[in-house]
Amino acid sequence: MAPRARDEIMVHDSIEAKGDEDVDMEDVTVDGNADGQNETVGAPAGADANGEADAEVEADADGEPDTDGAADAEGQVEDDEPADTTTVRRGRGGGRGRWRSFDDPHKELRQLIDDTQKYLCAYKEDDEQICDPFQRIPRKNIMPEYHEVITNPIAFSTVRQKLVRKDYTAFSQFVHDVAQIFRNAQVFNRPNSLIFKYSVRLLDVFKEKLQELIENGSIQAQDAELPDFGELPPVEDSPSPDPDDDEGDEDDEEEEEEEDDDEDDDSDDEGGRRRGRRRGRASKKDAEDDDDYHKKRGRPPKVFTPTEARIHAILKGLRKPKNDDGNLRILHFERLPDKQLNKEYYQTIANPIALDQIKRNAKRKKYRNADELLADIDLMFENAMQYNEEGSDIYDDAVELQKVARQLVDLEKGKSDEAFRDEEGKLPLSEVQQNGETWKVGDWVHIRNMNDLQKPIVAQIYRLWQDEAGKKWINACWYYRPEQTVHRVSKRFYKNEVMKTGQYRDHLVEDIVDRCFVMFHTRYHKGRPRGFPPDKEIYVCEARYNEERYTFNRIKTWTSCLPDEVRERDYEMTMFDVPRKIKKEPTPIAHLLAPDARETDPLPKPNWGAKDAPPIIGGVHIRPREANPRMPMAPTASNTAIPHANANANMYNPPRPVEVYHLRDDIDAAIPAEVREQYQTDDKGHVLFFTAPPLNRPHHGVAEEHATLGHSVRYLSEIHKHRAERERKRKERDEALERERAETAGREKEMREQQEREMGAVAGQMLGDYFLGLQRGNERMEKELEPVRADKAAWEAEKGAMRKLQQLQQ
């Protein structure tokens, strides 16, 4: 049977990167979170692909129909289960409150468990089923972090699987599983997230239900005892994760930093607890410190000047006051109303401003002192009091917050600058001097690369400070070269291309080697920075590089990649007469691909050297590009509140863009060939599924002036003859050309052989003449040497006679 549509959709709601490091995953925002935080489903739904032993669970995780089919949705038992037989129920006085059946002693037990899990799954608050996020377990291939932290993943679809397999023999087993579901949610998610709060609320509902079952004699008290899992693991701070950009989404660092600021502001509301996601296994973290050091996505350190520290404290203080209902007063002032939905507001208010704009101005260092900040805060609250009626909630909140803001400003101005000194002794600097150069935030630099001195690190300065010892430091964001990344062997790069990373590293000023410049790819072909020295390197950047997943995410907004201080500055350019055509080149490390590489090989790892340097060399592979594994979700209604306004308006909910996906390989392979031929497929033959019907274009997409064109009936009836005749002529032509080529080759061969014979004869004649000349020269030499030899013989005879004479005389 087909699984429930709701179960399929809830796969998406249960996905978010854990955020222990800032990774490139896509977050799903759960509506209704006042803090604006992305939340991770904790005890998500269904069976998983996480390596549980049960095959049924693994099938669930892949998004395939559950083996229990409709039993999952309706709580039915298997079709082959025997019909209900006479049963004996034992209440309080008869034993432990269990059920017995002469044929199946646990049938009524399973029915009670099924009724209880249905009750939990159907529980609603504010017309919302808050148990939906706990229906399925996140897929391991999409969110591996969840399965690293949670050692026993379980969801309500797992409970239903066990009901079908008749695994439950005691009600206490079911109680343990449900408690484990909510425990997992609390271990993995932030304490103030909706999922965490849902798990706490549902656990209370479950306890109430258990008490009800005890009172009516269905179960005994010992069956309802919740397991003791111990204390929750400590909470770690973690930066907001990067959204997965495989589908074109961009990691907007400005928004992430604003969320981080909100987290800092809200930390006091949680009793001083640090916000972050929980990690259940600290020892695993310690063991992986070395690997994480390279992959870890950092943030520029927050080094505030005294003025910046005062402004930060004032904005943080505005987030603390609450109204009588316990809600933050500042929530109404977070953002301005929609211009389309509330035109009256903009006709009434001459200078609209909201908290998000004030925070943005503060981040970009536009306020020179606390008084300038207070002027904008006063304007924001005055606007609210002007537009809203006296006595309304927003009006009252504006009055109270305006008083608080002025008190905070007076408090902060009364503090000395020394009170804002960094706890590590960092003194922020506006600029530093090194090698005769002045370096400021936003400058592009070459930093000494300990892995390859010939390839300095391309980086941009984010922070400057001086430590207690008087040494000057910079914090810079690294940009990787193509050969330092892991990518498909078919990927191409611009010449001098670099990729933005999440590496924000501290360096001594002495590590700066030289000045360089990085341009966005949309301007690189148009010109060069005016006045930039021609002997300095200029790079081009098009994408961010995710070191966790080895993916490249195209940058949409270049300013989001720059420090706050320079986002609104632009540089002048010397334009080319004609824009240059910039071509991409093959990867410079294609030679690293193994000869026997396969699509199923694991991703290669970069070769790391020195700890404070980019990889020595990356890697290449031929793995297939990741398909869209997620099923389409139905559009969800927006719950965005309109600050400053009391009027309610219908929100326009635009339709989702059309998505394309395909089934798993084993499911897709089961589609008959005759069916497959009738549908669109991708390059691997997978049948493609779309979330919307095709557009009905006039004339089937043909231009109007050509819509009436066509072929005559005579042409169409004789087209096969024309094609056959054309094929015959082509074949005859090819055969004639082949014969001509063969004849030409024969003639050329005969000519070569003739030339070889002639050359052999000439060479033989030359060799004969050479040896004949040598023989004649030898004969002449013999004749010339005959007199010499005669003289030598006479001399030797005379010499012998004289020797004999001397012997006789002795």
Q: Which of 83-92, 189-198, 355-364, 513-522 has the highest mean pLDDT?
A: 513-522
pLDDT at 640 over 70: no
More confident residue, 248 or 563: 563
Per-residue pLDDT tens over the stretch 647-697: 444 555 555 566 777 888 878 888 998 888 888 888 888 898 887 777 777
More confident residue, 593 or 50: 593
Q: What average pLDDT is seen over the chain? A: 78
More confident residue, 141 or 633: 141
Summarize the chain as % helix, strand, coil (round to 5).
Answer: 40, 15, 45
Per-residue model confidence (pLDDT) at position 98: 39
Per-residue pLDDT tens over the stretch 218-242: 999 999 999 988 888 766 544 444 4
* Secondary element (H or E) of residue 465: strand 457-466
At 418, is the pLDDT very low, low, confident or very high (cuts 50, 70, 90)? low
Q: Per DSSP, which regions of 71-162 are E strands?
A: 87-89, 99-101, 124-125, 128-129
pLDDT at 774 over 70: yes
* Class of residue 358 by CB neighbours under 10 A (exposed 0-12, middle 13-18, buried 19+): buried
Q: Give domain 106-223's CATH architecture.
A: Up-down Bundle (1.20)
Which residues of the chain does CATH 1.20.920.10 include? 106-223, 306-420
Rg (C-alpha) for the chain, rounded Å, is 41
Per-residue model confidence (pLDDT) at position 634: 38
Lowest-confidence pick of 276-290, 520-534, 711-725? 276-290
pLDDT at 266 over 80: no
pLDDT at 587 over 60: yes
Beta bridge partners of 473: 465, 508
Do 518 and 445 contact (CB within 8 A), yes or no?
no
Please tell me the CATH code under which domain 306-420 is placed. 1.20.920.10
pLDDT at 311 over 50: yes
Per-residue pLDDT tens over the stretch 592-612: 999 999 999 999 999 988 888
Distances 204 to 178, 190, 200, 208, 556 between C-alpha atoms, Å: 12, 19, 6, 6, 46
Per-residue model confidence (pLDDT) at position 18: 36
* CA-based nearest residue to 18, from 299, 260, 272, 236: 236
Helical spans, DSSP H, in 107-143 = 107-122
Per-residue model confidence (pLDDT) at position 202: 93
Beta strands 457-466 and 472-480 are antiparallel
Mapped onto helix, strand or coil, the DSSP state of residue 222 is: helix
pLDDT at 270 over 60: no
pLDDT at 489 over 60: yes
pLDDT at 145 over 50: yes
- Mean pLDDT for 265-290 is 44
* CA-based nearest residue to 184, from 144, 147, 158, 143: 147
Q: Does CATH place domain 427-621 in 1.10.10.10?
A: no
Which residues of the chain does CATH 2.30.30.490 include? 427-621
Per-residue pLDDT tens over the stretch 703-712: 777 777 777 8
pLDDT at 10 over 50: no
